[in-house]
Homo-oligomer: A and B are copies of this chain.
Amino acid sequence: MQIPCSIEQALGRKYPEPVVLVTTRAADGRANVMAAAWVSLASSEPWMFVLGIDVDARTYEVITQTREFVVAFPHEGMAKETLHAGSHHGHHADKIKDAGLATQKASIIRAPLVQDALANFECELVEIYRPGDCPLVIGKVVAAHVHEDAGLRRLCLVGPDYRLGGLRPA
């Protein structure tokens, strides 16, 4: 039986949800990383992602300039790095270094791969929509990479207050 409630209260039931890391590299060569939870596939031919990226984020600013970014799936052992990426601003900091993330050269674009991630997707910007208060960034996947260890599991938001962790089948 359903009981009426506030939208925020109902959204409190949304866990678990996966998180991604998004990397960029500005024209001056500086790379950056952020964490995002508003993410979904958006097309299969060609493959695209849709990402909600705050208009005040350094990542948003760089994507509008360079029109490219990497979507990476962190594994369940990367909670600390992902929390750092998701809770600091990148305008005046080297978040990749501060988060303790190793990177690797991508094949096609200039933004770096996250070396320890489960998978990395090099994306070229298609369009930015803004139906509400958050820009929806659409990226076409132009190259993909996986970690050599196929047994890694994805990191998820497992509860409120940015609680991150791994999961196992019930």
Contacts and interface: CB of A to CB of B under 8 A. Distances in A.
Interface of A: 1-7, 9-11, 13-18, 37-48, 50, 52, 73, 76, 104, 107, 113, 115, 117-121, 126-127, 129, 131-134, 136, 138, 140-141, 143-148, 150, 152-154, 156, 158, 165-170
Contacts of A168: 167-170
Give the top 6 A-B pairs by smallest Cβ distance, nearest first. A43-B132, A166-B170, A10-B144, A2-B145, A167-B167, A10-B119
A1 B104 contact: yes
A28 B145 CA distance: 48
Contact of A169 (B6, B37, B41, B167): B167
A138 to B, nearest CB: 4
A154 B119 contact: no
A9 B44 contact: no
A52 B136 CA distance: 13
B43 A4 contact: no
A50 B47 contact: no
A117 B14 CA distance: 11
A121 B7 contact: yes
A57 B56 CA distance: 37
A119 B169 CA distance: 21
Given A47-B11, A73-B13, A165 B170 contact: yes
